[in-house]
Amino acid sequence: MESSQGSLPPPFAAFDLHVPSHGWAGTAGVGSAAARLTDKILGNNSDDLVDILRAIASEIGLSHISFVRFASNRSWDVSLLTAVATYSKLWQIRYFLKRYGAIDPVIKRGSAAILPFDWETLHSDEPSTVNFLADAARHGVGRNGLSIPVRNRKNTHSLISFTSDVTKQEWGIFKQSNMTYLQQLSALIDSAAGIDSKPPPSPVQLSPREEQCLIWAARGKTYQEIADILSLSLGSVKTHLDTARHKLRCINLTHAVGIAVATGVIPAAALRDKSSFKD
């Protein structure tokens, strides 16, 4: 594959995925998908990453692609709010508000994983996990899944997941034939996500708990509601928010939320979808 800056070595080379003939797209679009990611990394493409991921999923016959980055110095809520996924907006809102990240077996495995893993290995008899997986299926996440860790930065790593609704047999063939290419594609996605997710330098460093409390405050939750959501005492929530406010040098909580978003201390996505979700 040629770019404006010459030929690029793997993992930037065009992919040659081997896909089962039934129910899957052909191979012609895969090089184009890699090219769009490469162009974004090189600054030649301003498309949103989620739109590129949708195009890739469509081209190679996948249901969805998702990206999440784990950082040792940031709260899990920030990781969720900066994740990129082609799942329905309804599912993404539901996932965040129900705090599914605390029980999602993919996230639990992926937070420490070094090697790729198939979601079929994540079966659990825990009622909460069973209910979560059933809810995910109802929202079209995909009945097959593969997650690939990307570890190339200090104190942070990413997890890229691919899902499909094809038969188990076809899914097995696809994985066996294309694992190397999917790992290369994951490296590209991780690099492209880094272009989109670089926040402005933060003037302060909040603790993970201060970050969590401020994010939920930004979503319109009361002190008591935040305490219930995070399983904290009311006093602890007030302390965390008051400390965050003082660190941001703000006179009230509303001011603190605005300054935190404006300076990148918390993601702007914290202000979106503030309406309460109904089951």
pLDDT of res. 204: 79
Tell me which of 142, 171, 196 is where a domain ends.
196
Asked whether the beta carbons of 67 and 158 are under 8 A apart, the reply is: yes
Q: Report pLDDT for 271.
A: 64
From the list 59, 88, 22, 63, the residue with the least C-alpha distance to 163 is 63
Is the separation of the CB atoms in 68 and 92 below 8 Å?
no
For 58-89, the pLDDT digits (tens) are 888 899 999 999 887 777 777 777 889 999 99
- Structural domain boundaries, residue 67: 6-196
Say if residue 240 is in the same domain as residue 186: no
Examine residue 202 and state whether it is found in any structural domain, yes or no.
no
Together in a domain, 118 and 231: no
On whether residue 26 sits in a domain, the answer given is yes
> Is the pLDDT higher at 278 or at 216?
216
Length of the chain: 279
Contacts of 132 (CB under 8 A, 6+ apart): 100, 103, 104
256 and 143 in a single domain? The answer is no
Same domain, 135 and 218: no
Same-domain pairing of 264 and 152: no
Residues in contact with 198: Cβ distance below 8 Å, sequence separation at least 6, in sequence order: none
DSSP H or E run through 162: strand 156-164
Model confidence at 237: pLDDT above 80: yes
Residues 6 or more apart in contact with residue 126 via CB below 8 angstroms = 103
Output the pLDDT for position 107. 93
- Same structural domain for residues 184 and 231? no
* 191 in any annotated domain: yes
**In whole angstroms, how far apart are CA 105 and each of 23, 111, 149, 164, 189?**
28, 10, 14, 18, 22
Task: Give the pLDDT of residue 238.
Answer: 95
Q: Is 66 contained in some domain?
A: yes
146 and 215 in a single domain? The answer is no
Q: Is the peptide bond before 105 cis (omega within 30 degrees of 0)?
A: no
Residue 249 CB contacts under 8 Å (≥ 6 apart), including other chains: 259
Q: Residue 247: which CATH number? A: 1.10.10.10
For the chain, give the percent of residues with pLDDT over 90. Answer: 41
State the amino acid at position 162 in one-letter form.
F
Mean pLDDT (whole number) for 198-216 = 78
**Can you give the CATH number for the domain in which 81 is found?**
3.30.450.80
Q: Is the pLDDT of residue 6 over 50?
A: no
Domain count, the chain: 2
- Residue 150 in contact with residue 63, Cβ under 8 Å? no
Measured distance CA(275)–CA(245) in Å, rounded? 24
Residue 158 lies in a domain: yes
- Residue 241: predicted pLDDT: 95
Domain boundary among 155, 171, 196: 196
Is residue 279 included in any domain, yes or no? no
Are residues 148 and 52 located together in one domain of the fold?
yes
Could you say which of 133, 168, 196 is where a domain stops? 196
pLDDT in tens, 149-193: 998 777 788 999 999 999 999 999 999 888 888 888 888 898 888
Name the most confidently modeled range: 24-38, 105-119, 252-266.
Answer: 105-119
Domain presence at residue 1: no
Q: What angle do CA 39, 89, 101 make, to 5 degrees?
A: 95
- Evaluate if residue 23 carries a pLDDT over 70: no
Residue 201 falls inside a structural domain: no
